[in-house]
């Protein structure tokens, strides 16, 4: 049997090549490429697989009719929603977020909740001593929680302890502090993070033990380390929020056992994180009398309708280059909306600074918010408030036409539940059950400009 070719990986960026070189072609770093020996297809390792392991099996022989493994509910409905209905045995979950956003607080509360549901839980911290974790648990009112604590960074010691204790849930806080002694690099480096994540994920699959990994994020908001870590795990959750707001959003960006883009909403209090059952009412709680530049958007996050407020400010600029500042939305899409308003509706924003904000620290990604952004910009520019108790949603094309969006009926039902009486929506939508709501259907953006603001 031919010997398998060696692989070389960069310890700075994780790029894999078939030959060694002094400089990495991907990131440009020098002297960072080292050999990684792949699993050989022959020899003792291959012989130990036996006839059953590593052999192709017909899909019909895998017991498709058998029920899926039971999920464990934590009792925290917002966390269970994001996980897809509960924790799946043998799953690997990665939780990322900014420093100080509340990841450790959330997972300590989750550990206590899962322990209360009957799971054997070990919380391994590489950043805090056991006494510090106990102090935080006492502050959160979790002093009597049946959770075992461990303060260790050596991955070999942690896996040895897990083999002996046989827990059903392990929380690693954080993956960047773990150190594998068989990898010749510093803790927190790309090689160490990848090796530790691989070992822990393999342990979860082999023993049927769920593993939750905490991951730090970079300045760009991505999980620190290579993206391959996100591919290793089953579920990737981001814990988001603005430091100036008490709201925290747990967002699923990948989930093999449930819907992606699902969100759970929490509120940071002095006693920890509390669940928010009706996030729409919370995000609109600080909204007073309708003012120019304000538009309420009826959005969908995963399977949940959420209402939030877009706030816009348009002012003359004292500089030669007008500013375009966006918080909570895509800056490139704002530039597109401004271009459509000028090209298709004859409303220029030249010489005007434009500021756009999503109230409450929400982050909106769906294109259905286009019409709400355009309405907020027009309201601010014309200094004219939208009609009271009005929600807006719709996608804007480059031709200026309005496109219908998915789940329009669920959006309108949520708006009606919160007391809204009017909706501005694209024509031709699928919403039919609109009792109690006055629908204003528009075919293009020019119709919105003319009928509501009398401009253009």
Annotated binding site: 97-104
Q: Find the radius of gyration of the CA atoms of the chain.
A: 26
Hey, how many other C-beta atoms are within 10 angstroms of the C-beta on 254? 15
> Of the candidates 385, 378, 303, which has an alpha carbon nearest to the alpha carbon of residue 345?
378
Any bridge partners for residue 396, and if so which? 402
Q: List strand residue ranges (DSSP E) for 317-399, in order.
A: 324-327, 352-358, 390-392, 395-396
Q: Measured between alpha carbons, how far is 90 from 92 in angstroms, rounded to an integer?
A: 7
Count helices and strands in the chain by DSSP H and E runs:
12, 21
Binding-site positions for ATP read 97-104
CB atoms under 10 Å from CB of 339, counted, come to 12
Q: How many residues does the chain have?
A: 456
Are 232 and 90 within 8 A, CB to CB?
no
50: left (phi over 0), alpha (psi -120 to 50) or beta: left
Beta carbons of 363 and 392 less than 8 angstroms apart:
no
Q: Are 391 and 297 in contact (CB under 8 A)?
A: yes
**DSSP letter, residue 75:** S
- Report the C-alpha gap between 252 and 244 in whole angstroms: 23
Structure tokens belonging to residue 21: 């070189």
Separation CA 427–CA 443 (nearest Å): 5
Contact between residue 344 and residue 397 where contact means Cβ atoms under 8 Å apart: no
CA distance 404 to 425: 8
- Cis amide linkage into residue 99, ω under 30° from 0: no
DSSP string spanning 215-254?
EEB-TTSSBSS-THHHHHSSEEEEEE--TTSSEEEEEEEE
Write the DSSP symbol of residue 71: P
CA distance 321 to 1: 67
């Amino acid at each position: 049997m031919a010997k398998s070719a060696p692989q070389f990986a960069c310890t700075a960026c994780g790029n894999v090549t078939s030959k060694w070189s002094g400089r990495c072609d991907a990131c440009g770093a020098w002297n960072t490429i080292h050999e990684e020996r792949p699993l050989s297809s022959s020899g003792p390792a291959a012989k130990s697989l036996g006839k059953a392991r590593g052999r192709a099996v017909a899909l019909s022989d895998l017991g498709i009719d058998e029920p899926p493994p039971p999920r464990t509910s934590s009792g925290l409905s917002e966390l269970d929603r994001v996980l897809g209905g509960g924790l799946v045995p043998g799953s690997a979950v990665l939780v990322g977020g900014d420093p100080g956003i509340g990841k450790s607080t959330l997972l300590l509360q989750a550990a206590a909740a899962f322990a209360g549901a009957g799971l054997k839980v070990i919380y391994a911290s590489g950043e805090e001593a056991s006494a510090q974790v106990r102090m935080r648990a006492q502050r959160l009112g979790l002093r009597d929680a049946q959770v075992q604590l461990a303060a260790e960074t050596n991955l070999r010691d942690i896996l040895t302890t897990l083999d002996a204790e046989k827990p059903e849930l392990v929380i690693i806080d954080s993956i960047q502090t773990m150190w594998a002694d068989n990898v010749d690099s510093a803790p927190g480096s790309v090689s160490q993070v990848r090796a530790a994540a691989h070992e822990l994920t393999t342990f979860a699959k082999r023993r049927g033990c769920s593993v939750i990994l905490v991951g730090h994020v970079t300045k760009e908001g991505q999980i620190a380390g290579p993206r391959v870590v996100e591919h290793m795990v089953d579920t990737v959750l981001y814990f988001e929020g603005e430091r100036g707001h008490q709201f925290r959003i747990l967002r699923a960006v990948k989930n093999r056992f449930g819907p992606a883009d699902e969100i759970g909403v929490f509120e940071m209090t002095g006693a920890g994180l509390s669940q928010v059952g009706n996030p729409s009412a919370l995000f609109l709680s600080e909204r007073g009398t309708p003012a120019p530049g304000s538009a309420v958007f009826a959005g969908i996050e995963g399977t949940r309708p959420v209402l939030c407020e877009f706030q816009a400010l348009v002012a003359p600029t004292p500089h030669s280059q007008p500013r375009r500042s966006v918080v909570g939305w895509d800056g490139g899409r704002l530039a597109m909306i401004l271009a459509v308003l000028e090209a298709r509706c004859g409303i220029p924003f030249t010489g005007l600074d434009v500021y756009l904000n999503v109230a409450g620290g929400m982050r909106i990604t769906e294109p259905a918010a286009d019409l709400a952004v355009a309405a907020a910009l027009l309201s601010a520019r014309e200094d004219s408030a939208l009609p009271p108790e009005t929600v807006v949603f719709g996608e804007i094309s480059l031709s200026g036409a309005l496109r219908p969006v998915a789940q329009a009926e669920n959006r309108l039902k949520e708006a009606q539940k919160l007391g809204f009486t009017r909706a501005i929506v694209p024509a031709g939508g699928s919403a039919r059950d609109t009792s109690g709501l006055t629908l204003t259907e528009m075919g293009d953006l020019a119709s919105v400009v003319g009928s509501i603001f009398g401009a253009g």
